[in-house]
Amino acid sequence: MNNKTNLVIVSFVAAIFAATVIVTTPTTIKHASAIVGDAPTTTVKVHAGGGNSTNMLAVFVPHQVQIRVGQSVTWDNPSPVPEPHTVTFVLNDKTMTTPDVPFTVRSSTQFMPVPPGANSQPNMIPGKDGMNTVIVSNVRGYYPTLIDSIGHAKVLGPNGNFTITGNEQYVNSGWLLPKATTLYPGSSNTFTVTFQKAGTYNYLCDIHPWMAGTVIVK
């Protein structure tokens, strides 16, 4: 690549996972709705994923929880294999995104695995006139990210903790992985959201869009 190289960049990590991890949807699972007490400090726990080594679950358990204003929900990922999930609230349809999106970079760039030595390499596809396609990642898909009412995006480090006041456009956990799994910077083991406004908040997993859940805030 040289300085004239225009790079169209899309993400590759999700594709690697999608290709290497086999996920099966469960045939039977209890979708109990959890209802908690009045304590304002109450935190409800929800599992993103789970199952066992022969039957990986791609569901939220419980898929619906009911809390009171001021209470919180914490998600974790108890999967027996390092299958990532996300908790993604798309509160404005225009903010829907995925880890796989295009970017352009108008300069010479080196692409190094992160962390160094990781089993990865950029997916570079030669194109016309020195233009190459390179696959990289969308931070707003991998890191805990919140977009506020006026479109400002706030990206947190791992294990982010957000408050939803009711005006947000997008709240994403980023990639949640089982504890002790550290695949790359930005992934988390837990994600916590405190809800400050009554309402029904639907969310999904960005990686397995059939994984959906609801938080009802009374």
Q: Are strands 88-90 and 170-172 parallel, antiparallel or unpaired?
A: antiparallel
CB neighbour class for 132 (10 Å; exposed up to 12, middle 13-18, buried from 19): middle
Residue closer to Cu ion by CB (options 134, 204) is 204
- Span near Cu ion by CB under 5 A; candidates 97-105, 110-118, 127-135, 206-214: 206-214
Q: Are strands 72-76 and 43-52 parallel, antiparallel or unpaired?
A: parallel
Among 14, 146, 164, 205, indicate the residue that binds Cu ion (CB under 5 A).
205
The CA distance from 214 to 218, in Å, is: 13
- Span near Cu ion by CB under 5 A; candidates 74-82, 134-142, 187-195, 203-211: 203-211
Asked if 46 touches Cu ion (CB under 5 A), the answer is no
Asked if 85 touches Cu ion (CB under 5 A), the answer is yes
- Span near Cu ion by CB under 5 A; candidates 81-89, 97-105, 130-138, 191-199: 81-89
Structure letter (DSSP) for residue 122: -
- The closest alpha carbon to 1, from 102, 103, 106, 100, belongs to 106
Give min distance, CB of 131 to Cu ion, in A.
34
By residue count, the chain amounts to: 218
- The closest alpha carbon to 144, from 74, 200, 59, belongs to 74
Residue closer to Cu ion by CB (options 171, 205) is 205
Residue closer to Cu ion by CB (options 65, 211) is 211
- Span near Cu ion by CB under 5 A; candidates 7-15, 68-76, 112-120, 208-216: 208-216
- Using CB under 5 A as the binding criterion, the count of chain residues that bind Cu ion stands at 5
Asked if 211 touches Cu ion (CB under 5 A), the answer is yes
CB neighbour class for 137 (10 Å; exposed up to 12, middle 13-18, buried from 19): buried
Residue closer to Cu ion by CB (options 72, 77) is 77
Helices and strands, number each (H, E), in the chain: 2, 17
Asked if 57 touches Cu ion (CB under 5 A), the answer is no
Give me the residues that bind Cu ion (CB under 5 A), please. Answer: 85, 205, 207-208, 211
